[in-house]
Structure 1
């Protein structure tokens, strides 16, 4: 898929009369580093404290449903705030909006660290989710500001690794922190992460939005932009596919602690170690994808990746209904699922943004909303089921089915 020409980004080449894009403000590698640092914030903040959730029930003298609500509020703040921060970055620039939202995230993290009651923790997690929303939206918009095509796919591959690696490896880290220094230190890590990102935005990352448009933040143009994106199959197909697949990863991140700790009987530290299966599988998939991108167009990896995704989901749907839940029957299908995501995240992320250079922030925000909204819907559906194992066996396969249908139906219509 080739993006439309962006006349505002061209410059004349002396003696040739041609219009060529300007040199990027930062290199491909630096863009990947900055983007990965930003994009990992949301998933890390979501999943880092999941091993501590049973401990928090005791610490605050509350119910497990109330502690689950802290995750739901984080999801909600993260999902809906993206719809605002993306267009604001189109209107006022990536850096100032990023700094503002990171300050909000930092305030929420400090509040969570010193929360005296569970009510204060609920408010803190909502604020954290709102602030962290800028990470996902801005990282992708920055890539679209600077690169398209295979260059964009390579960067998205790296960013995609961290996007999914966050919820995969964070429980491992969170479990280790919990058993060594306690749950307060988990939120201290978030405080330090937020402060480091603010320093990066202020001193290291240049402004990449060279043509800010103040009207992009006005209500009517903003709604019109979102309506146009939702009506465009070039955006809707990859957006729905990422919502069903990456959103599924977020959804199972909320289910796994209760399946692995409460149902199977692992300790928080053992749960963290078991999650290395998921993170290792995704990293392996990212490495394989990086090698394949040297020989194949990123779009050629979408169908095989989606087929492997369906295989992992089927493993949960069938295996957990026929066999007892244990580390193997749960984590092996999850590992297959995680491996597959790395194959198609780069192509779908690039496809969703490439046609919309003047609304990169809005497109990135809506794409992130699909993913976090999918995670929110999936976790809410699982919460309605009294059996967490049945939730695992039902919710993820249903979300993957949504991604498969979007791929087949919207591709066929476009063709």
Structure 2
């Protein structure tokens, strides 16, 4: 393991990295969020069961999670730019297949390929930040990425619901195609290469050793599992909420899209608050309060198993959980990748895999349970508890952690 110190003068400004990083990260959640309002419509369009349509989302998760393990290391060996362009090419081709899908089997295959294409965004965006910045600078950029990222998923369900009502479900894939082409254009003309390509690193045995090192690295695993319990819950909730809010509570697709603004809006507002607070305290000091919000949201979600369902009963705990995610994400993202320079792409890929994988696992377990309300009430609190336990383990071994930066204090006068 080697540690490459980011250059004193970055190749790209923090603002440019934040904007590009947010665009890359957003493609995955947006492709999920804009699609979810159409899921109940697709049941009727293809004349299939809910389970078949849920499988299109599960396959998207699966392709997204597993392909990250390839995208990050490829970007370490071949460069960030060409891998982004190649994977987004897959994403665009899959969007065309989905647009003209004649049956649900074709749609399943297209969604799986979309997940593969979108996977490069999460892994490479974090690696870009690690390539160029560290410490509190990295945390601030991760926070800004989070702020911009919140806008995409906030607007995507609303846009998806409106498109569904006016143009039908196929129009959502037109938007995805435009998004993919936009990212290819940005990567081609605005993104500067941040690593020196080294084809000798295309070695399966070496990659296997790197991933084994990460999986047995206590600092990496504890920080990554904090992120998995927090962010993974967002992906798991995406498999539950459409059926709870539309089938159980009775919202229309457009109302569902507007309702999801509650989750993204609270995340966006909280990210702005975190950015303000990081000017006064270390990002690391915001993690414990964030986990407090996650626990509170988990308890509210647990109450779904016992009380009468309503929109606010479902969404207030979801919004509180989202507040917690905004508080923990900057510090934990930075801490997880801090010890890894040369392996930044692989580490970012593994972290993304664990996040998506946890969401896929919990979403699949919920599908097996058959009752979306009960699944969400029981499984989401388990993810919140897992995040808190991982953080306690992380804090109990401070020698494993990146030194926690202190706020910059003004120099004494006189």
TM-score class normalised by the smaller sequence: over 0.9
Say yes or no: does 1:38 pair with 2:24: yes
In the other structure, the counterpart of 1:228 is 213
CA distance in 2, matches of 1:414, 1:153: 19
Instruction: Note if contact 1:233-1:414 (Cα within 8 Å) is conserved in structure 2.
Output: no
Displacement of 1:409 in angstroms is 2.3
Using the TM superposition, give the Cα deviation of residue 163 of structure 1 relative to its aligned residue in structure 2, in angstroms.
4.6
Question: Which residue among 266, 284, 298 is the counterpart of 1:313?
Answer: 298
**Match for residue 325 of structure 1 among 309, 328, 341:** 309
Contact 1:308 1:336 (C-alpha < 8 Å) held by counterparts:
yes
What stretches of structure 1 of length at least 5 have no aligned partner?
A: 10-20
**Closer, same or farther: CA 161–233 of 1 in aligned 2, 3 Å:** farther
1:147 aligns with 2:120: no
Report what 1:238 is aligned to: 223
**Does the aligned pair in 1 maintain the 2:38–2:253 contact within 8 Å?**
yes
CA distance in 2, matches of 1:96, 1:122: 27
- The equivalences for 1:2-401 within 5 A come to 6=4, 21-163=7-149, 166-209=152-195, 211-318=196-303, 320-401=304-385
Structure 1 range deviating more: 228-237 or 33-42: 228-237
SS of corresponding position for 1:358: coil
8 Å contact 2:134–2:338 — kept in the other structure?
yes
SS of residue matched to 1:128? helix
Q: Deviations over 1:10-57 (max 9, x none)?
A: xxxxxxxxxxx3411110011000000000001111121111011011
Q: Does structure 2 retain, via aligned residues, the 8 Å contact 1:177–1:185?
A: yes
For residues 305 and 223 of structure 2, what CA distance do their matches in structure 1 show? 31
Give the deviation of 1:84 after TM superposition. Answer: 0.3
Give the total of aligned pairs.
399
Q: Say if 2:27 and 2:121, in contact at 8 Å, map to a contact too.
A: yes
CA positional deviation for 1:413: 4.0
TM-score (norm 1): 0.93
Separation in 2 of the partners of 1:106 and 1:359?
A: 28
* CA shift in 2, pair 1:4/1:77, >3 Å: closer
Q: Using a 3 Å threshold, how does the CA distance of structure 1 residues 169 and 384 change in structure 2: closer, same or farther?
A: farther
Give the C-alpha shift of residue 181 in structure 1. Answer: 1.7
Q: Report the TM-score when normalising by structure 2.
A: 0.93
